[in-house]
Every structure is written in structure tokens, then in C-alpha cells.
Chain A
């Protein structure tokens, strides 16, 4: 181990103090928007089609989702599985990260708080649409809905999806959703928690009167959005079977 002048090893620092900044720490939305814009441009140059671009963005979000799960779950006192189980799961997914890990995985002391394992589908969805959303976007998702036609489909709705705030989709890219990255994050969280799902982002027109925002425009000068993001979550069959079995 190299002799480091920084006070403690990164893994031993409390999660809230990573990098010297407190949990809930912020940067400007512009900073995020510029980085995200470059991420989109990078992938667009390498994608041969609209769907390939979406896959790439989802993939970019997936690894982030795995890490977000660990951070959010730990902080929310609800841990999906015991600490070492999470670590093992994430290690298995380490193929998504380069040889230097963004979070090195080693044993952690067990949290002293009581932990609850999310085993039910509705609980994990609630965890995502509320805790994860609050953690990443500063507010819970606007709604969580279940599809009437398909038992394996659920929808998380966000009227102000952050990733697409400043994006104008050109006409020739038709149905592309700039929030595909976030759907990848959701997929990473769900998969990491043991609820494998295919998550896709869709841009849906907001009806007149459907949504009014408290406190004026989110971005000064920019009129309210005409579309909302619908994150469609389609669980894999074994997840549904398992959940049904737990019902009995």
C-alpha cells in the first residue's frame, strides 16, 4: 500500500464524508448537464442507430446504479441483503468497472443499525421511486404505477427528469429519450438488489392541467416542460415467480 498523505483510506471513511463533502452535497445543474451532454455525444458518435445509442446510455447508467444501490441502501437503513452479500454481488459485477474500482470492495464492518432486506417487488419499487430518487434527484418520483395489461410491468413517472433538462431531441432522432441513462441507473439498482428487470425511458406528452409545479419554473426563464419521463420497468419472469411464491 502506498504511503498516502490523505488522512484515511477511502474505504474507511464514513460514506458521508467521501471526498471531503457531506452527503447531500451539490454541484450546479449546469455542471451535471455539461458532463452528461459529453457522455451523450461520446456514445452518439459510436452508435449506428437510435436504439444502439439508447442501449449505450442505459449501459452507462447501469454501473452507476449498482453503486447508488449500495450508497442509498446503506444510508436509508434498509440494506438489500447483508453487507457482505452486497459486496459479493458487486464484485461479480466488477466486470463492468475497469481494474481500478470506483469503490474497492472489501469487508465492511456490519452497520450497527437494524437492517431490513427488501424481498418483495413492491418494496423495492417503492425504495427506488422514493429513496433512490430523493438521493439522486432531490425529490421522490412523481408517481409509481402498475400496468393494467401486463403483470410484469410497472412505471416510474418523473415530470422533471434531470438528464433531459436542456436536451432538444432533433426530429430525425424521433423517439429517443435522453433519460435512457437514468433507466440504466434504475436497472442497475434493481439488478443489484436481486430484481432483474429491463428498464426503458419514454418521453410522454403532459396533458393540460396534469401537472403544476410549485414554486415557479425549475430553471429561470425556461417554460415548463411539455413532456414527462416514464420509466418502464419490466421484471424478468423469475422475479415475478419468486414474488408470487412469497405471497403465499
Chain B
């Protein structure tokens, strides 16, 4: 269950995945964001929608990761998580790698080991995108006068991670804390474990 075997698993799974053009991907996402901005106007609301949409993707893509890892014989060894650190590494080294082909890193574990960060150097969602610069009045403010710099363009990732982990009974909260679109040198997603959920069925039959 080492970090490097997870990285290898991620690479192995990525190589088997049929591919699509990254620009088509980025532009399609851009089309979705554009539509959301047009429909909701308020950037804070758009962020919420992106998180919701990400959640919808997350609850689905986790099965793809688990089933394909299992089929490739990587299953238990690379995706079994004894603790949150293992989970973090599967998300970063297997998940981000197999779906997006990018190297993501984990780090920044808190004292209580209940939160961590995922770092992305490259961000396939934001190819071609530039947010208006602060003070650039022509562009910064959207149709409704809202400050577009409040938009978290890649908030989709937060929803994806939240949805995926929810399916394996981990309730987490995610936030984008650093964003290259806002001038930071890399993208950082902070993940915090809130609760480990228990399954439904078995509880009915547990002995008192």
C-alpha cells in the first residue's frame, strides 16, 4: 500500500483509458461554466452549482476507479485504505492520474490527521481561461455587477472529491484554497474529514 505503488497503479490505469482531446474537454467545461454564469449571475451561486455538478460526477467516477483497479488486478493493494492518508493518495495518485493524466500531490496533513491538501500543478479544466484582473472594470464585473473574481472556476473538483468519498462512506468538505487563475503558483484543494458514515442494512440486524 505504498505511495509509489499507488502512483504505479494510477499510471497503469491511465495508460488503459481511452483518451479524448484535452482542449475539447476544457472548452466543454467552459461552455458549462458560461451557461451557469449566464443563468445564475452571482459567482457564489455558480460556485455552489459547480460543486453540485462535481458531486454528481464524483459519485459515479468512484465506481469506475474501483472496478477498473479491481479488474486490472490492482484492486485491494492499491485502493484499500487503512487511514485517511491512504485515501488521500488514492484520490491524488490514482484518481487524478487515471482520469486527467496529471500528477497530483498530497500533503499538508493536519495534526489530527483529519485534513489534507491535494496539489495540482496543471489544471486541465482551466486551459485557455483567464479571470479578469482585479481593477479591470470592463471585465471584472459581470452583467449583474457581481465580482467575477469570486468565481471558483475549478470548484468542480471539490464536488467530485466530496461525492466520490461519500460513496465509500467518508463525509468530507473540500475547498479550493489556492488557484493559479488567481495568480497563485499552484492549485490547492483542502479536504477535511467530517464523519465516517456507517452503512444502512447491517445496522438493522446488529445484536444489541
Q: Do chains A and B touch in the complex (CB under 8 A)?
A: yes
Residues of A within 8 A of B (CB): 1-6, 10-11, 18-21, 25-39, 41-43, 60-61, 63-64, 67-68, 71, 96-104, 135-138, 162, 181, 218-220
- Measured between beta carbons, the chain B residues less than 8 angstroms from A32 are 20-21, 24-25, 28
Contact A60 B23 (CB under 8 A): no
Establish whether residues B37 and A21, one from each chain, have CB atoms under 8 Å apart when the complex forms. Answer: no
Cα separation A220 to B127 with both chains bound (whole Å): 29
A117 to B106 alpha-carbon distance, docked (Å): 49
Grouping DSSP codes into helix (H, G, I), strand (E, B) and loop, the B interface class, with mixed when no group exceeds half, is helix
Asked if B170 lies at the interface with its beta carbon under 8 angstroms from chain A, I say: no
B30 touches A64 (CB 8 A): yes
Question: Is the pair A98, B128 in contact by a Cβ cutoff of 8 Å?
Answer: no
Given the complex, which residues of B lie within 8 Å of A99, measured CB to CB? 132, 138-143, 148
- Interface residue? B8 (CB, 8 A): no
Beta-carbon contact of B34 and A63 below 8 Å: yes
Residue B70 lies at the interface, judged by CB distance under 8 Å to chain A? no
Q: B148: nearest residue on chain A (CB-CB)?
A: A100
A218-B183 in contact (CB<8A): no
**Interface residue? B22 (CB, 8 A):** yes
C-alpha gap A41/B52 in the complex (Å): 12
CA–CA, A209 and B120, complex, Å: 47
| Cβ contact within 8 Å between A21 and B122 | yes
- Write the B148-177 contact mask toward A (1 if CB under 8 angstroms, else 0): 100000000000000000000000000000
Are A102 and B133 interface neighbours, CB within 8 A?
no
Is the Cβ of B20 less than 8 Å from the Cβ of A31?
A: yes
The answer to whether B61 touches A100, judged by C-beta atoms less than 8 angstroms apart, is: no
Answer whether A29 and B18 are a contact pair too, CB < 8 Å, given A42-B32, A97-B34, A99-B132: yes
Q: Which B residues, 14 to 36, have Cβ-Cβ distances below 8 Å to chain A?
A: 14, 16-32, 34-35
Complex Cα distance A9/B22, Å?
A: 21
Verify B132–A100 contact, CB threshold 8 A.
yes
Once the chains are docked, how many angstroms separate the CA of A19 from the CA of B31? 17
B101 touches A63 (CB 8 A): no
**Contact of A25 with B56 in the complex, beta carbons under 8 Å:** no
Q: In the complex, what's the smallest C-beta–C-beta distance from B167 to chain A, in angstroms?
A: 14
Chain B residues whose C-beta falls within 8 Å of the C-beta of A4 in the assembled complex: 133, 183
- A100 engages B27 (CB within 8 Å): no
A61 touches B31 (CB 8 A): yes
Could you tell me if B100 and A27 are in contact, using CB atoms closer than 8 angstroms?
Answer: yes
Listed residue (B126, B140, B183) with the most chain A CB atoms within 10 angstroms of its CB: B183
Whether B180 is near chain A, meaning CB under 8 Å from some CB there, is yes
Q: State the CA gap A162–B17 with chains docked (Å).
A: 14
Inter-chain contacts of B123 with A (CB < 8 A): 19
- The answer to whether A10 touches B130 (Cβ under 8 A) is yes
Contacts of B129 in A (CB 8 A): 10, 102
